Chains A and B, each alone.
Chain A
Amino acid sequence: MDLKALVLIGAPVANGASQGTIFEVPFACLDVLGATVLERIAQRLRAAGISQLSLISNVGPDARTPMEVAIRKARFDAISETGDSFWQSAEEAFDQFRQSGTDLVLILSVGPYVELDYEELIQRHLKKRCRMTTVIGPGGEGLGIFVVDASRRGDAATLFRSGLQKVRDDCERFIAKGYKNLLGSASDFRRLAIDGLLEKNALRPVGRELKPGVWVGDGAHIHRKARVLAPAFIGARSKIRAASLVTRNSVIEHHAEIDCGTVVENSSILPHTYVGAGLDVMHSIVGLGRISHLVRDVAVEVGDGKLVGASLPSAVFRTLGSAAAFFAVLSRKYRGFSILARKTRPARLPQSQEVPSANLATPDVNEPASGQAVGEFPANFVVARRYGEH
C-alpha cells in the first residue's frame, strides 16, 4: 500500500491570521531540545512507513530564514511555498498524489504537537473501510490530522476549502490517547520543552546525559565556574560562560551563548542567540532579538545587542567586537581620545523653579498668622513641570 503525507504549516485560519507563532515564526519551526518539532514529526511519519512527505507552507518574510532551516533539517521530499493560494496548493498536491497511484493520504496540519501511533490510525482506517478518518482529542477537539482515501478527491476538496474545519458526517473519529500539546501560545511551547525534559513526552534531548537530568549536545562549552542544575538542556556548540547559572528546566539551544554571570531560570534560549552578561532571564523565551515573557504575557523587541542579540559566528568577529568595545571605553574614559567626545553642560533650571510660586505669599512678620490660611501648595512640592516643554 502506498501511503503519502501532506504536511501543512502556517495554514491561515478564519480571520486570515496564522496560529501558533512566536516572533512571527511557527512554533513547529523552532528547536525544542535540539531538534525542531517539524523534524521530529517527519521522523515519526517516516518511522510509520510513509513513503513521501510533501510540505505546503505559508509563512511571513520574518519567518523565512528559520523556516528554511527547519524544512532543510526535516528533509521533505517536496516543498511548496504559497501565499494566498494555500488551500488551492494543498488541493493540487493531493491531486498529484492521486494521479501517482497513492492509496492513502495523511493530511497533517502542523499546529498542535500530537504523539500518535500512525500505524494504529491507518489500520483503524482500513479496518473500518471509511473514506476519511479524523483524529480528535478526548474532549472531541480536532487535532488537524486526517487520513483520506486518495480516490476521494471531492472529500479532500471540501476539507481544504473549509480550512480543515468541515468533514463529512460519516467520517470516522479516531481518539488520540497519547501526549498532545496545542502549541497555541508561548507558554505551550515552553511546556513542550519542559515535558520533554521531564520525560512526559517522546521528545528526547539531542545530546548525551552528562549527569542525571542534564543533557549536553556535541561541542557545547560549559565553563567550569558555570552551574547547570538539572533538569536542563545545553545544545550543541553553545557556550555557557563563567559564573552563569542555568536552572529550573531551562533549555539552551544550539549555538546560543550565555555570557558571564547571567542567570537563566525556567526559560528557553533559541538557537544562535546571545544573552549578555549579568542578566536575569526568567520565565521567558529569548531569541531573534526578542524576549517573550511568559508571566507578563508580553513580547519585547530588544534592540540592544549587549542585552540580547545574535551569537557571533566566529572568533574573528568576537575579537573585532571586543576591540570596538575597548576603544569605546577608552573614548569615554579619556575624553580627548575621541573627537566625538563633548563636554555637556547642565541645562539651566527651569524658570518656574527660579521664580517664587504665587502661592507662597511673603510672610508678614508683624502680624501673627493665627487667622491666616496655610498656602495651598507646600513649598517642597510646588515645582512640577513637563519634561521636554518650556
Chain B
Amino acid sequence: MNLKQARNFLKEVEPFLNSDRPQLVFDLSRVQHIDAGGIDVLLQCMREVIKHDGDLKLASVSPQAAVVLELTRTGRLFEIYDNSTQAAKSFSSFLPNAVKHFYPHPAHHVTPMITPEAFVGSSDGADIAA
C-alpha cells in the first residue's frame, strides 16, 4: 500500500470513520507492501475512529506488513487478530448483558452476526467491515 493507494483507501473508508461509534476491522491479508504513506493512513483512521468513540482492529496481517508495522512502532497501537472473524467477534464480547440477551454471542447462536463471507477481498488488498 503506497501513498496513492492509501489516500484512495482513506477516501473510501471515510464515511465509515465518521459514523457513530464505528467498529472497523481492516483485513490486511493481501497487503504485501506497506510504506510510510500506508502507515500514516492507518494512523489517521485510528485517530478518526477514536474521535468517534469507536475502535479499529487489524486482522490477517501478512508477515511482510507485520515487519513494517513493527519497524514503525505502529503494531502496538492496534489490536491484531489472526482473522477477520475473530476481530469482529471481539467487538461483540463487549456488548452489555441486556443487549447480549437479544443478540447472543455468535459462537452460541445458530445464525452468526458476522459471517466470514462478510469479509471479502478488495482491489487494494484491504477489507473493511462495519
B35 at the interface (CB under 8 A from A): yes
Specify which of A284, A376, A383, A386 is in contact with B130 (CB 8 Å cutoff): A383
With a cutoff of 8 Å between Cβ atoms, the chain B residues found around residue A377 in the complex are 111, 113
Specify which of B14, B64, B67 is in contact with A347 (CB 8 Å cutoff): B14
Q: In the assembly, what is the distance between CA of A99 and CA of B5, in Å? A: 63
Residue of A nearest to B114 (CB): A381
Q: In the assembly, what is the distance between CA of A244 and CA of B14, in Å? A: 36
Q: In the assembly, what is the distance between CA of A376 and CA of B109, in Å? A: 10
With a cutoff of 8 Å between Cβ atoms, the chain A residues found around residue B124 in the complex are 387-388
Given A291-B67, A346-B14, A347-B12, A303 and B113 touching (CB < 8 A)? no
Indicate if the CB atoms of A378 and B103 lie closer than 8 Å.
yes
Number of A-B contacts (CB under 8 A): 100
Indicate if the CB atoms of A291 and B15 lie closer than 8 Å.
no
| A359-390 residues at the B interface, CB under 8 angstroms | 374, 376-378, 380-381, 383-389
| B15-30 residues at the A interface, CB under 8 angstroms | 15, 18, 23
A15 at the interface (CB under 8 A from B): no
Specify which of A297, A344, A389 is in contact with B122 (CB 8 Å cutoff): A389
B120 at the interface (CB under 8 A from A): yes
With a cutoff of 8 Å between Cβ atoms, the chain A residues found around residue B7 in the complex are 344
Specify which of A296, A349, A376 is in contact with B66 (CB 8 Å cutoff): A296
The interface size bin for chain A is: 35 or more
Indicate if the CB atoms of A307 and B71 lie closer than 8 Å.
yes
Indicate if the CB atoms of B73 and A278 lie closer than 8 Å.
yes
A304 at the interface (CB under 8 A from B): yes
B4 at the interface (CB under 8 A from A): no
A38 at the interface (CB under 8 A from B): no
Mark contacts of B63-102 with chain A using CB atoms, 8 A cut-off: 1 yes-contact digit, 0 otherwise: 1101110111100000000000000100000000000001
With a cutoff of 8 Å between Cβ atoms, the chain B residues found around residue A383 in the complex are 130
**Most chain A CB within a 10 A radius of its CB, from B67, B72, B121, B130:** B67
Given A296-B63, A347-B14, A386-B121, A301 and B33 touching (CB < 8 A)? yes
Tell me, rounded to whole Å, the shortest Cβ–Cβ distance linking A267 to chain B.
Answer: 11
With a cutoff of 8 Å between Cβ atoms, the chain B residues found around residue A296 in the complex are 63, 66-67
Indicate if the CB atoms of B67 and A303 lie closer than 8 Å.
no
Specify which of A280, A291, A387 is in contact with B127 (CB 8 Å cutoff): A387
B44 at the interface (CB under 8 A from A): no
Indicate if the CB atoms of A378 and B113 lie closer than 8 Å.
yes
Specify which of A298, A344, A350, A374 is in contact with B63 (CB 8 Å cutoff): A298
Q: In the assembly, what is the distance between CA of A350 and CA of B19, in Å? A: 12
Given A385-B128, A387-B124, A388-B123, A300 and B64 touching (CB < 8 A)? yes
Specify which of A344, A350, A389 is in contact with B11 (CB 8 Å cutoff): A344
Tell me, rounded to whole Å, the shortest Cβ–Cβ distance linking A54 to chain B.
Answer: 40
| A275-311 residues at the B interface, CB under 8 angstroms | 278-282, 284, 291, 293, 296-298, 300-304, 306-308
With a cutoff of 8 Å between Cβ atoms, the chain B residues found around residue A384 in the complex are 114, 118-119, 129-130
With a cutoff of 8 Å between Cβ atoms, the chain B residues found around residue A381 in the complex are 88, 113-114
A353 at the interface (CB under 8 A from B): yes
Residue of A nearest to B124 (CB): A388
Tell me, rounded to whole Å, the shortest Cβ–Cβ distance linking A144 to chain B.
Answer: 32
Tell me, rounded to whole Å, the shortest Cβ–Cβ distance linking B62 to chain A.
Answer: 9
Tell me, rounded to whole Å, the shortest Cβ–Cβ distance linking A116 to chain B.
Answer: 37
Mark contacts of B31-59 with chain A using CB atoms, 8 A cut-off: 1 yes-contact digit, 0 otherwise: 00101110000000000000000000000
New A-B pairs, 4, CB < 8 Å, besides A302-B68, A308-B71, A378-B102: A293-B67, A344-B11, A349-B15, A386-B121
Some 22 contacts from A to B, beta carbons below 8 A apart, are A280-B70, A280-B73, A282-B70, A284-B67, A296-B66, A300-B63, A344-B7, A346-B15, A346-B18, A353-B15, A374-B103, A376-B111, A377-B111, A377-B113, A384-B130, A386-B120, A386-B127, A387-B122, A387-B123, A387-B127, A388-B12, A389-B122
Residues of A within 8 A of B (CB): 278-282, 284, 291, 293, 296-298, 300-304, 306-308, 344, 346-350, 353, 374, 376-378, 380-381, 383-389
Residues of B within 8 A of A (CB): 2, 7, 9, 11-15, 18, 23, 33, 35-37, 63-64, 66-68, 70-73, 88, 102-103, 111, 113-114, 118-124, 126-130
